[in-house]
Amino acid sequence: MSTHRELPFRSEGPEPASRYLRAELHERRLRGIRKAIHVTLLLAGETTGIGGPSIADLVVVRTGTDTPVMRTKAGSLDEADALLRTINADLERMSVEEFLAEWGHLKP
C-alpha cells in the first residue's frame, strides 16, 4: 500500500492582478454642445464605417477603494469590447506588477 497522496494543484506564482484591480467601462458624460457634436460624429462615423469618437472610458480601479489606477478612451463599441476583454484576460494571468508594467502608460 502506497503512502503517496495526490495533492491538489496549487500555483506557486504570484497572485493574479484581478484580486486587486478590476476594469470597467465608464460612459462619457458630455453636456450641451459637446454632447451634440459627439452624437453627430458618432452617427457619422458609424454610418460611413470610418469610426467615431470614443463611446466610453475604460478605467482600471482598485477593488477595495474604487480608486482609478489608469484610464483611457475605449473607442467604438467593438473596440471597447475588445479592449475590455484583453485587459480582463491580462488581469487574470498577470501579477499586479506585470500588469502595471504592460498597461501603466494609461494614467488616470
User: Higher pLDDT residue, 10 or 72?
Assistant: 72
d(CA 89, CA 17): 10
**Residues near 79 by Cβ (< 8 Å), separated by ≥ 6?**
51
51-55, 66-70, 73-77: lowest mean pLDDT where?
Answer: 51-55
Domain spans of the chain, in order of start: 17-103
User: In which residue are the cell numbers 470610418 written?
Assistant: 50
pLDDT per position as a tens digit, 74-98: 887 778 899 999 999 999 999 999 9
d(CA 31, CA 55): 14
Q: Confidence band (pLDDT; 50, 70, 90) for 50?
A: low
